[in-house]
Structure 1
Amino acid sequence: MIRNYIKTAFRSLLKNKGFTTINVLGLAFGLAACLLIVFYVIDELSYDKFNTNANRIYRVNTDIKYGGNASSYAITPPPLAAALKNFPEVAGTIRLLHDGGLRIKKGNENIQEEKVVYSDANVFDVFTLPLIIGDAKTALKDPYCVVVTESTAKKYFNTTHVVGKVLTINNTTPFKITGVMADIPAQSHFNFDFFLSLSSRDEAKSTNWLNYVCSTYILLKPGASAKSVEAKFPALMHNAINTLPNEADMNMDRLEKSGNYFRLNLTPMTEIHLSSNRRYELGVNSSMQYVYIFSAIAIFILLLACINFINLSTARSASRAREVGVRKVLGSPRKYLITQFICESVLITVFATVIAGVIAWLLLPVFNNISGKSLTINLHTLAWWLPFLLITAIMVGVFAGIYPAFFLSSFKPVNVLKGKIATGFKGGNMRGFLITMQFTVSIFLVIGTLVIYNQLNYIQNRDIGFNRNQVLTIKNTGVLNKQARTLKQEIKQLPGVSNATLTSFLPTGKNRNPDAVFVNNVTDPKNALFTEIWTIDDDYLNTTGMKVLKGRNFNKDLPTDSTGILINEAAAKMLGFYNDPLKRKLYSPQPGRVKEYTVLGVVKDFNFNSLRDNITPVVMILGNDNRDLSVRVNTKDLTATLALIRQKWNTLSPGEHFDYSFMDEDFDAAYRAEQRTGTSFLIFTMLAIVIACLGLFGLTAYAAEQRSKEIGIRKILGAEVSAIVAMLSKDLIKLVVIAIVIAIPLAWLVMQKWLQGFAYRQNIQVWVLLLAGTGSLFIAFITISIQCFKAALVNPVKSLKDQ
């Protein structure tokens, strides 16, 4: 019986090649998009799950409010791990310390490596990081030991048999290789190539509860509750802060009374990648919001493809009515007819799924480039992909075919013989509803895409308080020591260079220094401002293009400027200095004393965090920070200028790797996730419109075919082509207009909520809504008109002769 159903379905599909082609293509494109999005979503949801104990590993976070400024950190003080070991729920703790890159010697060259971390010895007991060579129990036990990844061992020694060899760190310190581990999977919230023993650092034995430098993780015992651990954190912090040395002048009771706090909380490791956006994360995290967005797009696109199938199947009711009538007269039960039509639907879906699989495989490299992923199809992937394709084909086939099956099988033989079956768009209320839904989704996606691109354009062109264009940042100039200043002065003399500044504190950089300053020499929280404290030189403002609104810049020729300070507008407002800031005093606790600073000027606010966040206070002091050198160039021949700069570098630091970046590129990198989302949105929106138009194209063709006799008669009676086109298209155009009315307010509400995530945003403009609506209407009209003009231009004699 099943074999007969399949054979009959196959014959029916071959008989109606146009219908079959449109349905197969629509479903194939929709399924291919869904497959690619499923790849993306599964990859995002799989982060850190390669760890055997992933569900029992938590990261400890810190929330600090001090001096009226609140911040969230992914780091904690070094002594916290030892304190947590005493909790009965905790099976183990681990600290990771990542404070920037290190220079690793390879031959005669020093290579800057950023994927470097200091770790406690028991890191391999908590995380699943299998060692290929070496003993995981002792590999990081002793100071000055290092475990490297397999790819790193090959990079430096062309072999994995490197245990016992030595790596020279920062040109002076030898670290003995004690193990080689497998490369960390890409689906990890941290990805390091070098694990150095934390016992090599002073922080390993630090008891300073105010030095936030370590990422601390805990492994809970089986069955232990994370909430019970968090419940003990207030008492732990209260005791730790209150027992600090007197010179720290910190007291938890006084802190809380003044509205400030130091709080700890836990984040499950498996949620870090999609749910954590704190300062000092070990890697670049994503957002669950994007998983929801792309999942919704996948569902929408698949829904559009299914709607096409339903619409085209029910529109063909006239051509299938006689078949249904004859079968019923011959005694065929309705359930057999339903099964027959569902078999046709499943068969179409199977064909479409095979084509979709091929399309997804071919487009995977392109999708990887757009999404920033490295997705591949391998044996592991095929293990779930093939069953997924089969289940998807059956489910989509049944879902898309069930309504047409019940609709077509409901025809009564008497009505068929009397010609009472509704054809075309007559009696097509369900079809009208589905077409409206199609274009509502399409217009929604169009508006979403335009809003995202508009916001990204606003970010890229907004006045962010500094000029990021044509600023070259040379990394790791600290290796030159005092010669870094020589390099700066020599580069400033080069043609095409307008200025240069030595500092690692850049608006687009990662180096930050949160600390407190006070409005008087009593370090009471009531008098504090929690702020960024940046060390800069007197060329900093001119090089970065920042503006002094009140007062003046630093002057290196004035000795008193060593105790001068610059503050941004946000700091001036929070301190109450904005109207009269100059010559005000600020105080900074130093070892054994409190240093006094005088406000020299107020710098216009500039964005140094994401535009999702409000600008926070920054104070700048004059000092020596030679870790990076930023150079403002003013030349059309950038290649030649860069070559001269490189030559100066090689002269002063032979053997040191020349590493640089451009400030505008660093700025854009901070919004790469949004840019990729916008590009993906655009592609999938275009696909959704194509699928919707494909359905309209097919429906219009069937409507014109079913009304060909009417069209012929109207032409004989003198009807113009334009009048016939208007007659055929007006019903569908009405549905598109209804879709516009529904989609615009819905899209406005959703995208307005998305924009709330940006502290600096551009409101949705009217032209975006109008463009989406009129554009969709125009595309729909063109799609419909193609078939309508074709039908209207047919010779009426031929139309009437064929009836």
Structure 2
Amino acid sequence: MNLDKMLKNYIKIAWRNFINLKSFGIINLIGLTAGTVCSLAILLYVQSQFGFEEQFENFESLYKVTTFINNRGEFPDAELISASPSIGPGLVEDFDEVLRQARVVSVGGEFLFKPEGSDQSFFESNSYLVDSTFFELFNFSLIEGNLKTALKEPRSLVLSSKLAEKLFGKGNSALGKQIQLTSGDDDLLAKVTAVFDENLGSTHLNPNFLLSMSSTGLGTFVLTNNGWAGNNFVHTYLELRPKTNPDDLVKKLPDFLQRHGAEQLKAGNMDKTLGLFPIKDINLKSANFSPALGKISDIKYLYILIAIGLFIQLMACINYINLTTAQGIRRAKEIGIRKVSGASSNSLMFQFITESIFFSLLAVLFAIPILNLALPYLNQLFDSSLVLQDVLSFKMLISTFLVGLMTGIISGAYPAFYLGMINVNKIFKVKSQSSRSSFSLRNGLVVFQFAMVFLLIYAVSVVSEQLTHLSEKDTGFSKNQKLVIPLKTATANANYETLKTEFEALSQVNSVTACEFYPSQNIWYDNKIFKKGTSVSEGKVVQLNMARENFFETMGIELLEGRSVAENDSNQMVVNETFLKTFGIAQEEAVGTLFDQWNSNGEVSTPWEIVGVIEDYNYLSLKSEILPVATFYNVQLSNAVVSFNAENSIELLATIEENWQAINPGVPFEFSFLDEEMAKVYADEVRLKKVAYTFTGLAILISLLGIWGLVSYSLDQRTKEIGVRKVLGASVSELTQLLSKEFIVLVGISVLIGAPLAYFAMDSWLSGFAYKIDNTSILLITSALLTLFVSLVTVIYKTINAAYANPIDSIMKE
């Protein structure tokens, strides 16, 4: 028989066995399909996270300057993927190895767009200020314009194709159009010089629009700043000459920094080191750096997903192995007849391997449409934008085939060896009982399965409990019924007092205040300050916020000493408890204490005076410790905060919007709720919780399918024994206990094995939180009981059915 005919014959036999043993065949197919859907979903997402930046012509030669600041144990060391403004141009000037540089500054806020000649205006975010050399490093694909000239002139504006279509309509040219841009103090008429295609290739650079650096006040500050020590917020990219060894260049950077910035570093008592980071690794390997420019992934997260996918797929393979070997006796006569007819052990092994590959590829055929249907959920789960084309891409189809092939080989290897090596002389003499080695292997595989199930259940429990702990912990301020309204234009800012008066006249509004950074936002301003009469070497870095006079009262932050910030304050500050602890100041002695601030230019400023002390509040994430914060009075602020008491917020919002439009005509009304903004801080943890729930559910399903099949087979083998015991007077409870004991012991062993691994894995995850749940032993016990419960439900259900069966039917069947 040639190979082609032999394969067809084996596949026919596999299909007949599937039809004849419906329940076991369906269990195998469902288990393999569930595992394959899981592994393909993870594989699809993981593949989408590789290949970043490869669309740029010289991506292998592009690096980003990093900054490491050693805080000598006073605070966590700062690992920044940004640098001071002067670093980039200085490197080009000093080193022949550096071909060119480009600086990028994320604007952070939003610009009000008003196309010339249009009555419509709207806010757009996600913008970069960039050097004129930006496109020399990053050759974006332009739909309109010229890469060489697009950023040469001040107020040059480069749009994404999506934004250009929104502004001017599909198919219409945007080139040369004038747009009025307004943001805070910046009000400029910009000219569209190019439109780029944002859909070509994957990159960490995902701007909605680009502005030439000289267009705004912030950009002018970067261009004219001579800072080498502070202001480490500029994302600096370098293109190295061909054959340059970046490690050799890094060795020269300490001398470079000392040569230009020694005085500034000494004045600030700073210990600073520069480095280089390849842009091709930014998406996956820069998670420990800050601040990120755009959304990035984390290779550690991918490793976790890959491990989960492998474990779940392995569980599906284990089901196949267990059920196939358990049914070995049913196929013993078939094997015996084939051997008597001259079939070799190798040919039999090949047959069973072919059958398992057939089943696994059949599972793949079911998995692909299921995966396609699940794409919306997967995009929500992974925060991705996967589409059908990704599923059907050549790379993914090859990977899918390999997953099916490897699953088939792994699933069929042991059953093929076990069944193929059955002794033909015993086949017709021994009616039942698998060999001890087979029985022991099946037990071991069941233990492994439920150890993984236990680990996942415990992980879900810990993540859920930690998120509940974070949501319920007192943050030191009131986040409920707070409306945040951004003041994004100079006009809106100037009209703040009018807005405040109109809003507070509403019966449902308690009070209105304003601030630069509200809770859930990182405070981006900081400086090193030191007590007057001491030196900068004794200084500490503090976070700097600005607010109106009633900010603390509106936010429900308790004032412990002194007074709040007040109108006409200039150098007076209100500090938090951590500020006092950092400088070793007693609370009752704090008011009146003076501080000097470090200035990189050596200028002497008016001292800052503490006029009040507030209770610590977690303005950002409970994953990190509270930092020292000083709050000053200011009128040029970015956000208004409205405290309200309305049961129906929709009606209140409609009234507030009417007042806004009457006071700020032409400025779109935008808002958010503070409690929702705080929830976004834990978006990664919430997503991890969803991932854990999803894959834990799949793991439980696959394991229960496996144990259902094994229990069914075991009971089928003991049909006569059950009937005889019932005839002799055994009760249902006694039979249930007898029949389920073996599986209960196996699950108990799996819990004991999985407990140490589960505990240490989740303890490591919890170490990333400054405020975490204390005692996880209760969760460990609960997870163990739940693992036992889900397995017992299956085992006991099947055994009770067997125990209630008519003993005469059981004996007759046997």
Both structures adopt the same fold (TM-score exceeding 0.5): yes
1:288, distance to aligned residue in structure 2 (A): 2.5
Q: In the TM superposition, what are the counterparts of 1:145-294 in structure 2 within 5 Å? A: 145-158=156-169, 159-170=171-182, 172-184=187-199, 187-200=202-215, 201-202=219-220, 203-209=222-228, 210-242=230-262, 250-252=264-266, 260-274=270-284, 275-294=286-305
Give the aligned residue type for 2:373.
L
Structure 2 partner of 1:694: 705
Instruction: Calculate the TM-score normalised by the size of structure 1.
Output: 0.94
Cα distance in structure 1, aligned partners of 2:722 and 2:708: 18
Note if 1:24 corresponds to 2:35: no
CA, structure 1 residues 368+41, in 2 after alignment: closer, same or farther (shift >3 Å)?
same
**Alpha-carbon distance between aligned partners in 2 of 1:786 and 1:193, rounded to the nearest angstrom:** 58
Matching residue's letter, 1:242: A
Query: Cα gap change, 1:534/1:666 in structure 2, threshold over 3 Å: closer, same or farther?
Result: same
Residue 93 of structure 1: aligned partner: 101
Is 1:64–1:72's contact at 8 Å kept on the other side of the alignment? yes
Matched, 1:674 2:693: no
Q: Residue 51 of structure 1: SS of its match in structure 2?
A: coil
Give the equivalent residue in structure 2 for 1:508.
520
Question: Is 1:797 aligned to 2:808, yes or no?
Answer: yes
Query: Counterpart of 1:45 in 2: which secondary structure?
Result: coil
**8 Å contact 1:312–1:695 — kept in the other structure?**
yes
Match of 1:71 in 2: 78
Give how far 1:589 is off: 5.3
Which digits, 9 at most, give the CA deviation of each residue in 1:315-369, with x for residues without a partner? 1022122222232233321101111111111111111111111211111112212
Residue 582 of structure 1 pairs with residue 591 of structure 2: yes
2: CA distance, partners of 1:734 / 1:60: 57
After superposing the two structures, state which structure 1 stretch, 184-193 or 346-355, moved more: 184-193
2-structure distance, mates of 1:467, 1:309? 55
Distance 2:90 2:301 in 1: 37
Of 141, 146, 150, the match for 2:152 = 141
Give me the identity figure in percent: 31
Checking the alignment, whether the CA contact within 8 Å between 2:527 and 2:598 is kept in structure 1 is: no
State which of 35, 44, 50 in structure 2 corresponds to 1:45.
50
2:132 touches 2:213 (CA, 8 Å); kept in 1? Answer: yes
Aligned residue in 2 for 1:104: 113
Indicate how the Cα distance of structure 1 residues 19 and 380 shifts in structure 2: closer, same or farther if over 3 A, else same.
Answer: closer
Q: 1:416 aligns with which of 413, 427, 432?
A: 427
Show structure 1 runs of 5+ residues with no match: 244-249
How far has the Cα of 1:510 moved from its partner? 4.3
- Aligned residues of 2:529 and 2:536 also touching (Cα < 8 A): no
| 1:615 partner letter | I
The answer for the alignment partner of 2:3 in structure 1 is none
> Matched residues in 1 for 2:394 and 2:738: separation?
53
Spell out, residue by residue over 1:778-798, the C-alpha distance to the aligned partner (whole angstroms, 9 max, x if none): 111110122212222222222
Q: Is the 8 A contact 1:297 1:684 kept in 2?
A: yes
- Tell whether the 8 Å contact from 1:60 to 1:215 is kept in structure 2 after alignment: yes
Post-superposition offset of 1:425: 8.6
For 1:800 and 1:525, locate their aligned partners in 2 and report how far apart those are by CA, in whole Å.
92
Deviation digits for residues 30-66 of structure 1, max 9, x if unmatched? 1001111111212233443433333332221223356
2:12 matched to 1:7?
yes
Q: Say which of 771, 788, 794 aligns to 2:782.
A: 771
Q: What does residue 247 of structure 1 align with?
A: none
Equivalent residue for 1:752, pick from 748, 752, 763? 763
Give the SS at the match of 1:516.
strand
CA distance in 1, matches of 2:771, 2:551: 25
Structure 1 residue 409, shift from structure 2 partner: 1.6
Matched residue, 2:91: 84
- Whether the 8 Å CA contact 1:60–1:265 is kept in 2: the answer is yes
Does residue 494 in structure 1 map to residue 494 in structure 2? no
- Structure 1 position 223, deviation (Å): 2.8
RMSD: 2.2
**Aligned counterparts of 1:582 and 1:242: Cα–Cα separation in 2:** 36
The alpha-carbon distance between structure 1 residues 425 and 27, as it changes in their structure 2 partners (threshold 3 A), is farther
How much does 1:682 deviate? Answer: 0.5
Equivalent residue of 1:378, what SS?
Answer: helix
Partner secondary structure for residue 193 of structure 2:
strand
Unaligned runs of 5+ in 2: 1-5
2:329 is the counterpart of 1:310? no
Alpha-carbon shift at residue 647 of structure 1 (Å): 1.6
Distance 1:262 1:431, change over 3 A: same
What is the SS of the residue equivalent to 1:770? helix
Q: Give the aligned partner of residue 580 of structure 2.
A: 572
> 1:179: how far off?
1.0
Q: Matches of 2:696 and 2:319 in 1, distance apart?
A: 16
Residue 605 of structure 1 aligns to a residue in which SS?
Answer: coil
Displacement of 1:423 in angstroms is 3.9
8 Å contact from structure 1 (residues 488, 502) kept in 2: no
Q: Is the 8 A contact 1:469 1:664 kept in 2?
A: yes
Superposed CA deviations along residues 601-655 of structure 1, whole A, max 9, x for unmatched, are 2222222333322221111122223321111112212112212221221111100
Shift of 1:110: 3.2
Q: State the alpha-carbon separation in 1 of the partners of residues 357 and 92 from structure 2.
A: 58
Instruction: Please report how far the alpha carbon of residue 6 of structure 1 lies from its aligned counterpart in structure 2 after TM superposition.
Output: 2.4
Match of 1:518 among 524, 530, 535: 530
Shift of 1:205: 3.8
Give the whole-Å Cα distance in 2 for the aligned partners of 1:85 and 1:380: 44
Deviates further, 789-798 or 337-346: 789-798
The one-character-per-residue Cα deviations of 1:561-599 (angstroms, maximum 9, x if unpaired) are 544221112211111113532221112357853212221
Deviates more, 1:502-511 or 1:698-707: 502-511
The answer on whether the counterparts of 2:112 and 2:121 sit within 8 Å (CA) in structure 1 is yes
Q: Deviations over 1:723-754 (max 9, x none)?
A: 22222111011000001111122100110001
Deviation at 1:185, TM superposition (A): 5.4
Following the alignment from structure 1 to structure 2, what is the Cα–Cα distance between the partners of residues 746 and 279? Answer: 31
Higher mean alpha-carbon deviation, 228-237 vs 143-152, is at 228-237
Moved more, 46-55 or 756-765: 46-55
Measure how far apart 1:800 and its partner are: 2.1
Describe the superposition over 1:7-40 as per-residue Cα deviations: whole angstroms up to 9, x where unpaired: 3333233222222111011000110011111112
Aligned residues: 789
Q: Which amino acid aligns with 2:597?
A: S
Alignment of structure 1 residues 547-562 onto 2, 5 Å: 547-556=558-567, 561-562=569-570
Q: Letter of the aligned partner of 1:104 in structure 2?
A: F
Note if contact 2:547-2:637 (Cα within 8 Å) is conserved in structure 1. no
Provide the rounded CA distance (Å) in 1 between the counterparts of 2:61 and 2:467. Answer: 38
Name the aligned partner's letter for residue 445 of structure 1.
L
Question: How far apart, CA to CA, are the structure 1 residues paired with 2:392 and 2:536?
Answer: 56
Contact 2:64 2:237 in 1 (8 A): yes
**1-structure distance, mates of 2:80, 2:390:** 40
Q: Aligned ranges for residues 317-356 of structure 1 at < 5 Å?
A: 317-356=328-367
The verdict on how the C-alpha distance between 1:374 and 1:515 changes in structure 2, with shifts beyond 3 A counting, is same
CA offsets 1:464-498 (integer angstroms, 9 cap, x no match): 22222111111125432432222123222221111
Query: TM-score normalized by structure 2?
Result: 0.93
Deviations 1:758-790 (A, max 9, x none): 122113523211221111111111101222122
